[in-house]
């Protein structure tokens, strides 16, 4: 790849990262950005379903709540669900993938069959089923998205381990008396992480989408707590009269997921040694 | 100190059994160096790896024993093995460019090796590592301690590997073609270093090479390997002066001699037989000028021709 193209990649990554950081900042500093409370209702007819104005930047909903405030506080939920769910997936995926790739044999066969079984379930329905059993709450949503999303990562890590464990330095470490634990986590894992970074970043976008879908279906974050998904649901009934109720949370989801995907793709290109520029070691 | 008896390491592949080490026996005495010579693919490396039970999972140590100070290494569990590896018997490899982990600094890797075996704290391990780097003649050891492998040249990486390998003052250092990947001047430096360290630490070096020059420089005794078997085993001086096996003779005569200019360099005809498709009878017979029908029929055993000089050939002695 020539230098120019690589610069573009860097720029993409930068744009994606900036948007994500801005989103996080908005979520963290929600208290300072808006004076409205996300749950403050105003049932006066003149306060309900108001279009965007100077007073209510993104309008108000059917209970007279400020949509902008609800979205800011909803961002906390949506972003943290995405983040935590992916951390859970990464931990499970990396550990199982590492064990599978490193030890091989029966352990590998067993773990990979489990992966295939989990992969056979349509993820969204599996999640819906689990949530129906466990009852919806933010924690269960995070955990359930996390424990259903590790399969791809486990395979990725296993594949990396299969190649890295054959390298000379792994054998050298073993010859110097390093334990399996040390070899796995200190010698192989750091050399196997770059596809994990990419997959994790892309996974955050996916997890946010799933969370939105769940909240939209009423099995995710429960009202009155707001999340981008359930703001969409509440706007659904007014789609013909109050367009702002669906447009802005929809846009927020779109932009966030897109940013994660752009960042992930750009990271993939930057971390892939085959695409590294000439004259670089 | 280290006794290897009837070591057999086989690989069962779809094409058949690959006998990487077949009935290999040798001794390494305290403070003495053993050279292991042979062409590529004759099982030298697998033999070394077997000693520390480091062979890849597809390999099987079928039989034999490796006794280190009377204790059988093959009957040890992983924990005991780890206490031997890098501590009592350590190993350096052929490819210094890839034997260090690219994501860990020199210091991290060195202290790790030390801390794995010694009951000392990080500060002491660091001091020891820097001292070792100095000992293997790496300039500015304090700076090098914090550098990464890609900052070092091949020769320096091999020196770092050696420093790591000797960090626990092992009794035996297995050097599997330590200079093959390096150019000649660097090679001389590494051999000199190994020689010095061997004297200073009074350890034994098992030096593996296909290069008789390297062997001659360090070894007290030499084992010549061919197709997974030891074909000749003798004191170094004895072997060089009076080689008995046709294979050893062939190898020695194919060394370039600068003073004999007009002579065409003699070579061994053919190639090492495939280890999964061994000839019946003597394994060297297809390439041997002296081979007779007897050689193609009978498997010769290792015979002691003169005291301490063993040969596996029907024609000798």
| pLDDT above 80: residue B85 | yes
Taking the C-alpha atoms of residue A154 and residue A171, their distance in angstroms, rounded to an integer, is 23
CB–CB of B293/B299 below 8 Å? no
Q: Closest approach of chain A CAs to the CA of B290, in angstroms?
A: 41
Predicted local confidence at residue B164, as pLDDT: 92
Size of interface A-B (CB pairs under 8 A): 71
pLDDT of residue B271: 75
Residue A186's CB: how many other CB atoms inside 10 A? 18
**B35, β-bridge pairs:** B207, B222
Q: What are the C-alpha distances in Å from A176 to residues A173, B92, B126?
A: 5, 9, 17
> In chain B, what residues touch A191 (CB-CB under 8 Å)?
101-103
Residue A190 at interface with chain B, using a CB cutoff of 8 Å: yes
Chain A neighbors of B116, CB-CB under 8 A: 176-179, 182
pLDDT averaged over every residue in chain B: 88
Question: What mean pLDDT value characterizes chain A?
Answer: 84
The region of weakest confidence among A18-22, B57-61, B214-218, B265-269 is: B265-269
DSSP string for residues in A112-162? HHHHHHHHHS-HHHHHHHHHHHH---HHHHHHHHHHHS-HHHHHHHHHHHH
Distance from CA of A93 to the nearest CA of B (A): 22
pLDDT in the model for residue A112: 95
- pLDDT tens for A155-191 read 999 999 999 998 889 999 999 888 899 999 999 999 8
Distance of alpha carbon A115 from alpha carbon A152, whole angstroms: 8
The predicted structure's pLDDT at residue A273: 60
Lowest-pLDDT range of A35-39, B8-12, B104-108: A35-39
Chain B residue with CA closest to A190: the answer is: B103
> Band of the pLDDT at B263, cuts 50, 70, 90?
low
Which positions 45-74 of A are in contact with B (Cβ < 8 Å)? none
The pLDDT of A186-211, averaged and rounded, is: 90
Q: Are B159 and B190 in contact (CB under 8 A)?
A: yes
Map tokens 């690959």 to a residue: B18
Beta bridge partners of B306: B309
Long-range contacts of A134-141 (CB under 8 A, 24+ apart): A136/A214, A136/A218, A136/A219, A136/A220, A136/A221, A136/A222, A137/A222, A138/A77, A138/A81, A138/A221, A138/A225, A141/A81, A141/A85, A141/A211, A141/A214, A141/A220, A141/A221
Which among A251, A207, A214, A248 has a CA at the least distance from the CA of A229?
A214
The nearest CA of chain A is from the CA of B91 a distance in Å of: 6
pLDDT, residue A6, reads 65
Is pLDDT larger for residue A84 or for residue B286?
Answer: A84
Is-contact A65 A41, C-beta < 8 A? Answer: yes
Distance from CA of B287 to the nearest CA of A (A): 33
Residue A3 has pLDDT above 70, yes or no: no
Measured between beta carbons, the chain A residues lying within 8 angstroms of B87 are 177
Q: For chain A, give the percent of residues with pLDDT over 70.
A: 94
The residues with which B72 forms a beta bridge, in sequence order, are B67
pLDDT at A280: 41
Which of A110-119, A240-249, B110-119, B131-140 has the least mean pLDDT? A240-249
**A281 pLDDT band (50/70/90 cuts)?**
very low
B84, B93, B150 member nearest A172 (Cβ):
B93
Burial B72-100 (b: 16+ CB within 10 A, else e): ebeebeeeebbebbbbbbbbbbbbbbbbb
pLDDT value at position A4? 64
State mean pLDDT over B218-238. Answer: 92
Question: What would the pLDDT profile of B94-128 be if each residue is shown by its tens digit?
Answer: 888 889 998 899 999 999 888 988 889 999 999 99
Q: What angle do CA B183, B184, B187 make, to 5 degrees?
A: 85
What are the residues facing A249 on neighbouring strands?
A: none
Q: What is residue A7's predicted lDDT score, i.e. its pLDDT?
A: 72
Whole-angstrom distance, CA of residue B253 vs CA of residue A179: 45
What local confidence, expressed as pLDDT, does residue B252 receive? 87
Per the DSSP assignment, residues forming a β-bridge with B225 are B230
Band of residue B314 on the pLDDT scale cut at 50, 70, 90: confident
Task: Describe the strand order of the beta sheet including B89-92 as a list of residue ranges.
Answer: B89-92, B172-176, B204-209, B34-37, B221-226, B229-235, B309-311, B303-306
B93 and A175: CB-CB below 8 Å? yes
Candidates B79, B94, B101: best to mutate against A (most CBs of A within 10 A) is B101
Q: Is A60 helix (H, G, I), strand (E, B) or coil?
A: strand
Whether A168 contacts chain B with CB within 8 A: yes
C-alpha pair distances (Å), A202 with each of A226, A261, A263: 24, 5, 8
- State yes or no: pLDDT of A51 exceeds 80: no
pLDDT value of position A278: 41
The count of other CB atoms within 10 Å of the CB of residue A13 is 20
- Dihedral of the alpha carbons of A203, A209, A212, A216, in degrees to the nearest 10: -140
Per the CB < 8 Å rule, is A179 touching B101?
Answer: no
Which residues from chain A sit within 8 angstroms of residue B54, using beta carbons? 171, 174-175
B190-226 residue pLDDT tens: 999 999 999 999 999 999 998 888 898 899 999 999 9
Secondary structure (DSSP) of chain B: -EEEEEEEEEEEETTEEEEEEEEEEEEE-TT--EEEE--TTSSHHHHHHHHTT---TTEEEEEEEEEETTEEGGG--HHHHHHHBTTTEEEE-S-TTTSS-TTS-HHHHHHHHHHHHS---HHHHHHHHHHHHHHTT-SSHHHHHTS-GGGS-HHHHHHHHHHHHHTT--SEEEEESTTTTS-HHHHHHHHHHHHHHHHHHT-EEEEEES-HHHHHHH-SEEEEEETTEEEEEEEHHHHHHS--SHHHHHHHHTS--TT--SSPPP---S-PPPTTSPPSS-TTGGG-TT--HHHHHS-PPPEEEETTEEE--SS--
Q: Which residues of A touch B150 (CB under 8 A)?
A: 281
Of B91, B102, B112, the CB nearest to A175: B91
pLDDT given at position A217: 85
pLDDT at A277: 47
Task: Give the pLDDT mean for A35-56.
Answer: 74
Q: Is any Cβ of chain B less than 8 angstroms from the Cβ of A178?
A: yes
Residues 6 or more apart whose Cβ sits within 8 Å of residue B292: B315
- Which band of pLDDT confidence, cut at 50, 70 and 90, is reported for residue A279? very low
Q: Measure CA B14 to chain center.
A: 28
Q: Do A177 and B99 touch (CB under 8 A)?
A: no
From CA B84, how far away is CA B66, in angstroms rounded?
Answer: 12
Its CATH class, for the domain covering A3-28+69-275, is mainly alpha
Check residue A2 and give its pLDDT.
59
pTM: 0.81
Mutate to test the interface with B, among A105, A177, A189 (most CBs of B within 10 A): A177
Question: CA of B96, closest CA in chain A: separation in Å?
Answer: 9
Q: Which of the two residues, A190 and A54, has the higher pLDDT score?
A: A190
Of B78, B95, B116, Cβ closest to residue A176: B116
Report the distance separating Cα A47 and Cα A63, nearest Å.
8
Complete domains list, chain B, with CATH: 2-88+172-181+203-311 (3.40.50.300)
Task: Identify whether the C-beta of residue B90 lies closer than 8 Å to the C-beta of residue B117.
Answer: no
Pairing of strands B204-209, B34-37: parallel
What is the distance in angstroms between the Cα of B87 and the nearest Cα belonging to chain A? Answer: 7
Q: What are the pLDDT digits (tens) for A65-77?
A: 888 888 888 888 8
| Buried residues in B110-122 as b, exposed as e (16+ CB within 10 A) | bbbbbbbbeeeee
How many angstroms separate the CA of residue B133 from the nearest CA in chain A? 17
Query: What dihedral angle (degrees, nearest 10) is formed by the CA atoms of A61, A82, A266, A198?
Result: -170
Residue B301 reports pLDDT greater than 60? yes
**Residue B295 and residue A118: Cα distance in Å, rounded?**
61
The pLDDT tens digits for A207-256 are: 988 888 888 888 877 777 788 888 888 888 887 888 888 888 889 889 99
A167 touches chain B (CB under 8 A): yes
């Amino acid at each position: 790849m020539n230098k120019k193209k690589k610069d573009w990649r860097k720029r993409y990554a930068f744009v994606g990262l900036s948007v994500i950081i801005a989103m996080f900042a908005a979520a963290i500093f929600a208290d300072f950005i808006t004076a409205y409370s996300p749950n403050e209702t105003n049932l006066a007819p003149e306060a309900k379903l108001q279009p965007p104005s100077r007073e209510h930047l993104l309008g108000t909903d059917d209970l007279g709540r400020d949509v902008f405030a609800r979205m800011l506080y909803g961002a906390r939920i949506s972003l943290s669900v995405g983040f935590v769910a992916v951390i859970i997936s990464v931990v499970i995926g990396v550990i199982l993938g590492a064990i599978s790739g490193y030890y091989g044999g029966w352990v590998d066969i067993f773990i990979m069959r489990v992966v295939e079984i989990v992969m056979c379930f349509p993820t969204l329905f599996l999640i819906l089923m689990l949530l129906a059993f466990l009852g919806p709450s933010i924690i269960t949503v995070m955990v359930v998205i996390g424990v259903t999303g590790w399969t791809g990562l486990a395979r990725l890590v296993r594949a990396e381990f299969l190649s890295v464990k054959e390298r000379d330095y792994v054998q050298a470490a073993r010859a110097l008396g390093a334990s399996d634990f040390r070899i796995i986590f200190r010698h192989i894992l750091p050399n196997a992480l770059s596809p994990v970074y990419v997959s994790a970043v892309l996974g955050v976008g996916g997890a946010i989408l799933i969370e939105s879908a769940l909240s939209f279906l009423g099995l995710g974050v429960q009202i009155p707590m707001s999340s981008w998904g359930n703001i969409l649901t509440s706007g659904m009934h007014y789609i013909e009269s109050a367009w702002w109720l669906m447009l802005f949370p929809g846009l927020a989801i779109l932009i966030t997921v897109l940013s994660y995907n752009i960042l992930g793709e750009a990271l993939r290109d930057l971390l892939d040694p085959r695409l590294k520029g000439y004259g670089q070691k | 100190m280290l006794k290897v008896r009837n070591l057999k390491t086989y690989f069962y592949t779809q094409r058949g059994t690959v006998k990487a080490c077949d009935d290999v026996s040798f001794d390494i005495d305290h403070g003495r160096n053993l050279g292991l010579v042979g062409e590529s693919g004759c099982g030298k490396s697998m033999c070394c790896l077997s000693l520390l039970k480091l062979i890849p999972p597809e390999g099987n140590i079928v039989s034999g024993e490796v006794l280190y100070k009377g204790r059988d290494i093959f009957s040890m569990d992983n924990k005991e093995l780890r206490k031997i590896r890098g501590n009592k018997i350590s190993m350096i490899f052929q490819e210094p460019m890839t034997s260090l982990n690219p994501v860990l600094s020199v210091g991290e890797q060195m202290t790790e090796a030390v801390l794995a075996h010694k009951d000392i704290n990080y500060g002491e391990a660091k001091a020891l590592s820097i001292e070792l780097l100095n000992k293997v003649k790496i300039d500015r050891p304090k700076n090098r301690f914090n550098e990464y492998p890609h900052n070092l040249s091949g020769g320096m990486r091999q020196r770092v590997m050696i420093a790591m390998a000797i960090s626990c003052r092992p009794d035996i250092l297995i050097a599997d073609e330590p200079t093959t990947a390096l150019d000649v001047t660097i090679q001389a430096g590494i051999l000199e270093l190994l020689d010095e360290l061997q004297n200073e630490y009074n350890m034994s070096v098992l030096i593996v090479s296909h290069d008789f020059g390297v062997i001659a420089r360090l070894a007290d005794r030499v084992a010549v390997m061919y197709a997974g078997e030891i074909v000749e085993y003798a004191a170094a001086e004895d072997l060089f002066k009076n080689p008995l096996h046709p294979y050893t003779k062939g190898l020695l005569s194919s060394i370039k001699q600068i003073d004999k200019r007009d002579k065409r360099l003699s070579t061994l005809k053919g190639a090492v037989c495939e280890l999964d498709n061994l000839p019946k009878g003597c394994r060297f017979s297809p390439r041997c000028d002296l081979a007779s029908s007897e050689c193609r029929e009978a498997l010769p055993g290792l015979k002691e021709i003169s005291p301490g000089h063993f040969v596996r050939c029907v024609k000798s002695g």
